[in-house]
Amino acid sequence: MSKSPLRVEDHGAVRVITVDRPEKLNALNSATLDALHLAFDDAAATDAVRVIVLTGAGPKAFVAGADISEMAELRPVEGRDFALRGQAMMRRVETLPKPVIAMINGFALGGGLELAMCCHLRLAADTARLGQPEVNLGLIPGFGGTQRLLRLAGRAATLELCLTGAPIDAARARELGIVNRIAPAAELQAQTMALAEQLANAAPLALRGVLDCVNSGGECSIGEGLAFEAAQFGLMFATEDMREGTRAFLERRKPEFKNR
């Protein structure tokens, strides 16, 4: 039996999914894309899991890109199908009803940056390098890089990264809005897990409402987005967690959310 390209570990309500191909700098091949899709399906369906952390094995890379050895011999239709396969997996992550945090511990290049960008939050080591170097291979980003980078960092930064193929450091990535926070490499795991645990203690249905509003609002007019937000806000009043949260605030105690 071949070794799984992933490691999956639960730490209380936080599930850590690790791309485990350090000998390939955790590059994404078809098997890894499929395994990630299944892993996120399972995380979404498991009630005990409230937050997911995604990272890469080893000290060098989060994910260094797609697996060039697999891509090199693809025909045009196969290349399109490979792109669609990666896009479907990343769209699954992006629309997950639970927060997903990318812990960027090293290189996040090409498909690796695309994978990080589909997560809801991104924490990077101060030693991380990020970029879309596909142009150097005679390619373009195929897993959503041009589209998510455009939405995160704007047109000028997207064109610069995708046209030059040059990587940037974590500080520049934060300036552009690509990553949320930077931590010293030795502290990255602790800071990421602290954030994950903070979210795991929040009201799960409220977190889902925020994710739904942001995902929907980013693709529609302000009027439609506001109407969707108001509807989601109203739905919260049907939850036991909302009653518990407001009651705990008035009673000056810590709430105990039950995902109901």
Q: How far apart are CA 14 and CA 9, in angstroms?
A: 9
The question of whether 78 is a catalytic residue gets the answer: no
For residue 38, give the H/E element and its range: helix 30-45
Kindly tell me the sign of the dihedral angle through the C-alpha atoms of 213, 154, 136, 168: negative
Task: Report CA-CA distances (Å) from 250 to 136, 237, 244.
Answer: 58, 16, 10
The question of whether 175 is a catalytic residue gets the answer: no
- Per the CB < 8 A criterion, the answer to whether 165 and 136 are in contact is yes
- Per the CB < 8 A criterion, the answer to whether 130 and 171 are in contact is no
Question: How would you classify the pairing of strands 107-109 and 129-131?
Answer: parallel
- Per the CB < 8 A criterion, the answer to whether 88 and 68 are in contact is no
For residue 70, give the H/E element and its range: helix 68-71
Question: How would you classify the pairing of strands 107-109 and 14-19?
Answer: unpaired
| From 23, 134, 187, 244, the catalytic residue | 134
| From 114, 160, 251, 256, the catalytic residue | 114
- Per the CB < 8 A criterion, the answer to whether 53 and 15 are in contact is yes
Longest Cα separation, the chain = 64
Burial class (CB in 10 A: 0-12, 13-18, 19+), 257: buried
Beta bridge partners of 17: 8, 54
Enzyme catalytic residues: 114, 134
